[in-house]
Structure 1
């Protein structure tokens, strides 16, 4: 069986669900193809919460994307009645003399402040004494810290965000094919032919947003540029909730040492939920979506607690309520790829979001849909071109 569409989107995680929704809004005959049933726990976009912050320390090129995303989350909430975005605030802190990298960038607090100033994003710069006074849950301060507090930051609920966009996409006419494995993608004679285990789809254009499966699906330069890493998420039990009051419990990113690995991030507990979710990142060991160990060993959660949590977070115990593994796909410079395929002008690739992509996903979906439909976008995507690797 062969199906003909205007645009096919391969992968319906963060980027694919956003793109399919935006294409459907524009009246495009579109189909989304997903090897599982989205949202699921086998890729990069699960785990209950994802940080969002507008004062992006990774660079000013990202700020328009996250500004658009915040607008779209609120629009989706109004359209669906779903709760997607909690603006509890974001606190990014480190010792003032800390030069360690975060997402490939040094002086991350200073860079976050610079982004906030450049884009008029409400924020405060606070010192260690103010952090201790306003946020009593942070108990392991050295006295040398400074922080950028962004009251409009917070977290989004990734599973709900993807679900909302897919619901709206279908309501606007898009087709979703779940549990469908793409076997090949080939551009010939002004069209793109997608062979799946459930039949063939012929599209005028294709958007590949397959996350950690991009390298094996696209081959060539993508196999060289994309690295998949295993990341761990941990939820620890809180025995004393007194320091975790909603009015003073932001999302946090805490760089506490001199190495890139001396850092962790976390989320405030939800109302009535005595668990704290925290995580860090590692880039030293690679894996694949086919071979990843999805089980988190007790000793891995214990090591995370000892290296980062103990003595730093009030009332948080070493007892593990839950743990999960997810996948990051990263480029050599830790930046995104949002570009036409270097050999096929009818294939657009969104990949390698390098651990900081979900906050931008709704805006990326809108920009890519504009690019596909109108050959332009309101947001400049040139900084995410593959040309920088040539």
Structure 2
């Protein structure tokens, strides 16, 4: 049973999970400390002065420079510039290369040039992750872990720091961490589906435990039905925004995004972890959802065009997967799509279709207003 592999009711497991979040915070902080160390040691000195003082700087600023005058894709200088945001500007590098081609030595060619620090896709992402993690620790009334001093004694120190960060981030992904999978599964899923899989989830004991770790559920979407018991059963519940649980959900997707950063694959043996996840869970979904029986819902979803350039929670979704979005209004036991598909959909059939998708993280449901529902869903598993 799935529940046997999901220790959501075990306080010790949640303590260990918070410890893993602390490890992630530490690795992010170490990267920033190393980046600050680079700028501190470089000061306002010119490149030629830095190289004369320590040959490490030649590797950091020119590592991978080939005879044609550009940095190789996996060159060390490209790593520091494009990933960590420390290096020589493109214009300065062109001028230095032009001098080198004239036979001038690298120290003379780089005089009057000062390395700079700038933001990159990677540093902006981990800055956002750090802020979310600090919000988690603050809500749990815990101090963020303290980092030790970092040293810049090797030209590959930056590569090592980012490699360690990627390793820790990977251990928080759902394929490697059951509690991360649990967080994904309760983001926005019909209550009846969660009750069928997590038999202890809605007990007072477990709710109290989850509340202790800032994980609380709210009603997101409810059907317009007269019977309160049936209404409750078919309600979509999910993580309360701006709580620890929802921030953890966001951090998990940020971890996925680390493995999609452009150029990262040039320096590390990594894969698109989100694509890998989608492939793994596609077979489960294909064998779970009866498309023939729920053809109206399937038709409504797939009649809508691509949304957000094939992005889901800021992640790129590769073919054959694709992202669809549908906005609907609740009317009695029906959902009325606001555009595209003109046929009314049975609310019960809709959530029967969406339930396994949302549980596996392939779909999200959000309330736009009291009677309006926004659904985003990844399709393509039906074609694999």
Higher relative contact order at CA 8 Å, sep ≥6: structure 1 or structure 2?
1
Q: TM-score interval w.r.t. the shorter chain? A: under 0.3
- Give 1 or 2: higher strand fraction: 1
TM-score (norm 1): 0.24
